[in-house]
């Protein structure tokens, strides 16, 4: 089987899959739609990060893909409904780089509060400007976290350890950690805090959630961070807020349109502004995080192909079936309709197949059954299972 790994994934991903018998092809940058369709010919597994868009057109053209690994947190760059319709399982790394993002957020907050970039630039320009003006401790400051998921909640704990008072807002009902205070609305949070940081997911409804209206609602001379998604923020409005002094400092790691390759030209209305920290989408890009992501997602892809395990898949039902000493395992993705498992088992019974173990899980309109059988199933019986109206993808593993 063949695996195509894009966007400079950690070498450990290649090691995990190579040791499992995959033929690995790696490429350094992202691919556009046409390039990706061409590159995926004959490929079973695709590994990407955040810049490669796996659209419905790509998935329709290459529906024979077995699985996709997003070697990052987000999966909004993948058309998940189209992947599910094609029977392509998608896996990501929801936890592996949370600490890296949290540490960058803390570093940005301290750097902005102390105006370190301004001090650094002055010295590089040959100007000695020793002054406490505009420099503050983070101890005692109020931090507002928009999005209290894996990253936001961990940031909450670390910020409290530094002496910050934490408020958070999330559309879902989340348990407050430590002494954090939950806010019932974004407006309530903005009125209470001096530093605002975004950590929401990439769903379409979050686009443009922070613009001129929200910056105007912030306390004067507040700090602002976006280490989440580029399309969340109106950066022209942020630049104006910085110039006016409404926002005293900003740290941005994500942008609406990001270059595909290292060394490409980058532009933003935030370039050149004092006390604005710009980083090239490196929130999760520490060697430790990328190594863990390479191992984690690589193992998920391997275990799905060789064992039918869908643990932590983002789009198909989750099953972690124990491996028995059976002769064959049948992995059956199907439409979640009443009686489909009975019909599949009737096909196996007519073929004289003895079922040793069977597990089923459903998720929305999709069902997933893993069946261990005592002897190899005949090609004719497998063909009948594959021809069932409800079948989305049938594999033997």
Element (H, E) at 45: strand 45-48
**Residue 204 pLDDT:** 82
**Residue 136 pLDDT:** 95
Among candidate residues 278, 307, 336, the one where a domain is terminated: 278
pLDDT band at 253 (very low <50, low <70, confident <90, very high): very high
Is residue 102 within 8 Å of 224, Cβ to Cβ? no
Q: Can you tell me which residue has the tokens 């593993």?
A: 397
Instruction: Write down the catalytic residue from 10, 229, 329, 332.
Output: 229
Is residue 301 within 8 Å of 92, Cβ to Cβ? no
Judged by DSSP in three states, 110 sits in: helix
**Residue 386 pLDDT:** 97
Contacts of 251 (CB under 8 A, 6+ apart): 105, 108, 109, 111, 112, 223, 224, 225, 226, 227, 276, 277, 279
**Residue 72 pLDDT:** 92
| Total structural domains within the chain | 3
pLDDT band at 324 (very low <50, low <70, confident <90, very high): confident
Checking if the pLDDT of 300 tops 80, the result is: yes
Whether residue 226 is found in the same domain as residue 262: yes
331 has which bridge partners?
370, 395
Contacts of 82 (CB under 8 A, 6+ apart): 55, 56, 59, 60
Kindly report the backbone phi and psi dihedral angles of residue 140, in degrees, each rounded to the nearest multiple of 5, phi listed first: 90, -10
Residue 340 to residue 331: CA distance in whole angstroms:
14
Residue 376 to residue 372: CA distance in whole angstroms:
10
pLDDT band at 89 (very low <50, low <70, confident <90, very high): very high
Tokens of 386: 């594959």
Whether residue 57 is found in the same domain as residue 121: no
If you average pLDDT over every residue of the chain, what do you get? 95
Residue 286 to residue 109: CA distance in whole angstroms:
18
Ramachandran area for residue 42 (φ above 0: left; ψ -120 to 50: alpha; else beta): left
Whether residue 256 is found in the same domain as residue 321: no
* Number of other CB atoms surrounding residue 196 within 10 Å: 28
Checking if the pLDDT of 96 tops 80, the result is: yes
Active site residue 258: yes
Domain extent at residue 223: 98-278
Residue 373 to residue 97: CA distance in whole angstroms:
39
Residue 188 to residue 374: CA distance in whole angstroms:
61
* Number of other CB atoms surrounding residue 323 within 10 Å: 13
Whether residue 125 is found in the same domain as residue 257: yes
- State the Rg of the chain over Cα: 25
Whether residue 305 is found in the same domain as residue 321: no
Instruction: Write down the catalytic residue from 281, 329, 334, 384.
Output: 281
Whether residue 27 is found in the same domain as residue 139: no
Give percent of the chain with pLDDT exceeding 70: 100
**CATH number of 303's domain:** 3.40.50.720
Whether residue 137 is found in the same domain as residue 22: no
Whether residue 141 is found in the same domain as residue 269: yes
Mean pLDDT of 233-240: 98
pLDDT band at 360 (very low <50, low <70, confident <90, very high): very high
**CATH number of 363's domain:** 3.30.70.260
Element (H, E) at 293: helix 287-307
pLDDT band at 151 (very low <50, low <70, confident <90, very high): very high
Whether residue 74 is found in the same domain as residue 134: no
Instruction: Write down the catalytic residue from 53, 160, 188, 258.
Output: 258
Among candidate residues 229, 251, 278, the one where a domain is terminated: 278
**Residue 261 pLDDT:** 81
Mean pLDDT of 372-391: 95
Whether residue 133 is found in the same domain as residue 178: yes
Whether residue 174 is found in the same domain as residue 268: yes
How buried is residue 214: exposed, middle or buried, by Cβ count under 10 Å (0-12/13-18/19+)? Answer: buried
**Residue 325 pLDDT:** 79
Among candidate residues 264, 299, 315, the one where a domain is terminated: 315
Checking if the pLDDT of 239 tops 90, the result is: yes
User: pLDDT tens, 273-295?
Assistant: 999 999 999 999 999 999 999 99
Element (H, E) at 335: strand 328-335
**Residue 326 pLDDT:** 75
User: pLDDT tens, 330-348?
Assistant: 999 999 999 999 999 999 9
Taking alpha carbons only, the member of 37, 39, 28, 98 closest to residue 63 is: 37
Q: Within 13 Å, how many C-alpha atoms sit on residue 260's CB side?
A: 11
Mean pLDDT of 342-357: 95
Taking alpha carbons only, the member of 310, 260, 396 closest to residue 68 is: 310
Is residue 199 within 8 Å of 224, Cβ to Cβ? no
Mean pLDDT of 110-115: 97
Whether residue 159 is found in the same domain as residue 34: no
Judged by DSSP in three states, 309 sits in: coil
């Amino acid at each position: 089987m063949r695996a195509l790994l894009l966007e400079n994934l950690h070498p450990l991903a290649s090691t995990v899959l190579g040791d499992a018998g995959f033929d690995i092809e790696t490429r350094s940058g992202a691919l556009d739609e046409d390039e990706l369709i061409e590159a995926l010919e004959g490929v079973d597994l695709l590994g990407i990060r955040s810049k490669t868009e796996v659209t419905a057109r790509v998935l329709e053209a290459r529906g024979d893909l077995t699985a996709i690994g997003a070697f990052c947190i987000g999966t909004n760059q993948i058309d998940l409904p189209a992947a599910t319709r094609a029977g392509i399982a998608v896996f990501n790394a929801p936890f592996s780089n949370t600490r890296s993002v949290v540490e960058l957020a803390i570093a940005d907050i301290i750097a902005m509060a102390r105006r370190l970039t301004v001090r650094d630039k002055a010295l590089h320009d040959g100007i000695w400007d020793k002054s406490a003006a505009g420099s503050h401790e983070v101890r005692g400051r109020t931090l507002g976290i928009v999005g209290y998921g894996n990253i936001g909640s961990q940031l909450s704990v670390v910020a409290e350890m530094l002496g910050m008072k934490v408020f958070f807002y999330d559309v879902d009902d989340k348990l407050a950690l430590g002494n954090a205070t939950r806010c019932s609305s974004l407006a309530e949070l903005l009125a209470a805090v001096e530093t605002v940081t975004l950590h929401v997911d990439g769903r379409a409804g979050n686009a443009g959630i922070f613009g001129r209206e929200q910056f105007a609602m912030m306390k004067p001379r507040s700090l602002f961070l976006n280490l989440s998604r580029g399309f969340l923020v109106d950066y022209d409005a942020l630049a104006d807020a910085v110039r006016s002094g409404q926002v005293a400092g900003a740290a941005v790691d994500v942008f609406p349109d990001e270059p595909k390759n290292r060394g490409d030209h980058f532009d933003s209305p935030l370039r050149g502004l004092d006390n604005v920290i710009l980083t090239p989408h490196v929130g999760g890009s520490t060697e430790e995080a990328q190594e863990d992501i390479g191992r984690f997602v690589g193992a998920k892809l391997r275990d799905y192909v060789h064992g039918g395990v869908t643990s932590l898949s983002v789009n198909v039902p989750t099953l972690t079936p124990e491996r028995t000493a059976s002769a064959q395992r049948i992995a059956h993705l199907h439409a979640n309709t009443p009686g489909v498992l009975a019909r599949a088992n009737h096909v196996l019974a007519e073929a004289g197949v003895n079922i040793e173990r069977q597990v089923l899980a459903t998720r929305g309109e999709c069902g997933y059954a893993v069946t261990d059988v005592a002897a190899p199933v005949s090609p004719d019986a497998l063909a009948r299972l594959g021809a069932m109206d409800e079948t989305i993808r049938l594999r033997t593993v």
